[in-house]
Amino acid sequence: MATTAGTIIDQAEILLQDTTNVRWGTAELLSWLNQGQDQIVALKPDAMAKVVSTKLVASKTRQSLPDGTANYKDENGATLREGLQLLDIFRNMGTTGSSPGRSISIVDKNLLDLTDPTWHYIGRSNVIQHYMYNEKIPKVFYVYPIVHATTQTWVEMMYVARPTAAATTASDIDVPDNYISILLDYLLYRAFSKSTDSQLHLTKAMAYYEAFIRALGAYTAAESGFDPNNNRMAPSVSLRK
């Protein structure tokens, strides 16, 4: 069950000893909570990882992540969340977005440029073989071969979605519930930072910010420790073809 923004703000007000909102108003606490969601995703993008089917733009090698508009929908017609960063493209999904097909691998663009300099304008298909990605342009990726001009081409991808801001205290937070304590640390950091005339509050602010950063780092380390990839077969083991 999702947690409401008000639940976290109530906890913050208790720790701030301001349950009647004399010094810190509800609106500003809500604003900082939403900024905290953004900061969590900025520092740990997979906190908002989404796996979706999406239709590629016809006759193009250059593609873009969903922008939150109706131009990008899943196979059921629902508008896809705005994307911040591509994480992976797994496989083809046929002409409707629901038919699993050939897997898609990432390749080096420079290598493809050398081996097939014409790949941006010669050869079209509704079956994608490879994709290319440059982290300097996180919302853009390229596919090979060129997307078919008339036959719809769908792929399954994993990307980072922009967190939806909580509109009111009754709204649910968008990051998963296991980030509640981390979000609370960020909220308290911003709240105590407001008191620039109080050295005690500034000290508390920095302590909560350090707790926020440490918790994110510990979370990442814990996930790495339980990563199934750490137990994958050695390269010398033959895989079934």
* pLDDT at res. 169: 97
Count of CB atoms within 10 A of residue 126's CB? Answer: 19
Compute φ and ψ for 132, nearest 5 degrees. -130, 145
Asked if 212 contacts 183 with a C-beta cutoff of 8 angstroms, the reply is no
Report how far apart, in Å, the C-alpha atoms of 123 and of each of 127, 150, 195 are.
11, 13, 62
* pLDDT at res. 195: 78
Q: Which of 139, 135, 163 is nearest to 40 (CA)?
A: 163
DSSP 3-state of 167? coil
* pLDDT at res. 227: 65
Spans of all domains in the chain: 5-43+176-223, 48-161
Low-confidence ranges of the chain (pLDDT < 70): 1, 223-241
Alpha helices in the chain (DSSP H): 5-16, 26-43, 109-115, 180-193, 199-225
Structure-token pair, residue 93: 């999904």
Compute φ and ψ for 142, nearest 5 degrees. -120, 150
Q: What pTM was computed for the model?
A: 0.89
